[in-house]
Amino acid sequence: MSKEMDQLKEILAEVSDLNNASAVLGWDQQTYMPPRGAEARGQALGTLEKLAHEKFTSPEVGKLLDALEKQAASWDPDSDEARLVKVTRRGFNDATKVPSTMVIERAELTTMGNQAWQEARSKSEFSIFEPHLVKLVDWARRFAELFAPYDHVYDPVLDQFEPGMKAADVKAIFDEIRPKQVDLIKRISEAQQVDDSFLHQEFPEKQQWDFGVDVVTAFGYDWSQGRLDKTTHPFQTTLGVGDHRITTRVYPDFFNPYFFGTLHEAGHAMHAQGVSEDLKRTPLYDSPSLAIGESQSRMWENLVGRSKPFWEHYYPKLQKAFPDQLGKVDMETFYKGINKVAPSYIRVEADEATYNLHIMLRMELEMAMMEGEAEVHKLPVYWSELFEKYLGVTPPNDKEGVLQDVHWSFGLMGYFSTYALGNLVSAQLWEVIERDIPDISGKIRNAEFAPLLGWLNQHVHAPGAKFEPQEMVQRITGSKINGDAYLRYLETKFSDIYGL
């Protein structure tokens, strides 16, 4: 390859190294950092992110891209090199619009904001976090203005997580699936409710931890490239090639959060572990978008981990781990219990049928904040009103309401819609997997996960960020992101559980 490509890769490698150093500090911030370290941590992150930003947006990178784009006319458009030039150009054009001062400002705002959110959440007092969120929303609106003109002020922030998608695209998808999901939930509410009381009792932490570790190990999570730690809000992070960590939280009186949360984060990590190392230290060593990443976590959490074949294998093992709690609960009752459909306050604990409504609510609030229509100090009120509108329940306090998610403390406006899109993509991919691996249910029943992980590695993981999300989904499934497969999946699964 040309000297220009070598020079570009050298700069991109240094940017990657700086970003990985920031990720290490971010991981520590959410796991082990003492509270009084927040200010210094924000300053350190600001310095690292400023250096990475300035190196990436340097005139030298622009000149190298100009030269490489001329050379790329003769390359295979799907080659790693051609895609690297395309993806880097897109990132360069976006990043050059953002001044370094805003990069530093964001690092400091989010570090202090996250610390305030943790305190506010522990005390269930939104007022502690409110002044920080005001500043973060202001930053997001100023960021969006750097990309004007736009169709909607939400577009620039959404585009950071879902390249090529606009607010109108996501709203159209949500408007299509919402009434169908609401109808399904209504029919379920009229059926006999299933019992899940046995999930709400004492489950000793060590047994929970060990069981979850055994399962994600069987899935294929590579511990030589990862670790599992506790945090307030679970997440997965990549700190570099060969370092893909997951975090979780354990409730001693409820089985679901630790187990399904750990499967979820392991799904993210296995995705990251599967990206081709040929792409390392470049912008391609990543997921195409958060929706694609979320499709992997939701697939392992729900389509595998909440499936009947999975529990036909693992339920006897779970009963052995918790004989007093589950010894007298039969498998069918347990399976229905972990899939119970009912309005709930907490997004990460929501059932599959209502989950997307949690996301639609958050997107509506984000758009209103970006538009200036929703005043931050009134957010708990807006939250409660929308919760009643979408799910028919009202959260009892801020901790179980507006403060439950970590995302806004990190300034992640535009992020939430990717969760629902990931659900849709997971079902679209699953229909292709069932075609390509005809006995996938039997393999899951036998805890043979290698064929599934191998398929995902080949089709979804290895290409990294070479293709934009819509293009990747189109290539694999034959259509762009839509809700058809997900609605079919929900209808089939819950008709069986509830006898619809």
- Domains present along the chain, CATH in parentheses: 3-149 (1.20.58), 167-498 (1.10.1370.30)
Per DSSP (E only), the strands in 168-266 are: 228-230, 236-240, 243-248
Give the residue among 271, 258, 257, 259 at the shortest CA–CA distance from 222: 271
Are the beta carbons of 466 and 78 closer than 8 angstroms?
yes
Mode of pairing for the β-strands spanning 228-230 and 243-248 = parallel
Number of helices followed by number of strands (H, E) in the chain: 21, 3
B/e letters for 430-468, b = 16+ CB within 10 Å, e = fewer, are: beebeeebeebeebbbeeebeebbebbbebbbebbbbbb
Give the residue among 286, 256, 289, 308 at the shortest CA–CA distance from 442: 308
Per DSSP (E only), the strands in 384-447 are: none
Supply the pLDDT for residue 318: 98
pLDDT digits (tens, 9 = 90+) for 167-176: 999 999 999 9
Give the number of other Cβ atoms within 10 Å of residue 209's Cβ.
17
Q: Which of 49, 162, 265, 301 is catalytic?
A: 265
pLDDT digits (tens, 9 = 90+) for 237-282: 999 999 999 999 999 999 999 999 999 999 999 999 999 999 999 9
Supply the pLDDT for residue 232: 83
Supply the pLDDT for residue 217: 98
* N-terminal to C-terminal alpha carbon distance within the chain: 60
**Own/partner long-range contacts of 138-146 (Cβ < 8 Å, ≥24 apart):** 139/102, 139/105, 139/106, 139/109, 139/411, 140/370, 140/411, 140/413, 140/414, 141/370, 141/372, 142/102, 143/98, 143/102, 144/370, 146/97, 146/98
Supply the pLDDT for residue 348: 83
Q: Which residues of the chain have pLDDT under 70?
A: none
pTM of the model: 0.92
176 is catalytic: no
Are the beta carbons of 233 and 405 closer than 8 angstroms?
yes
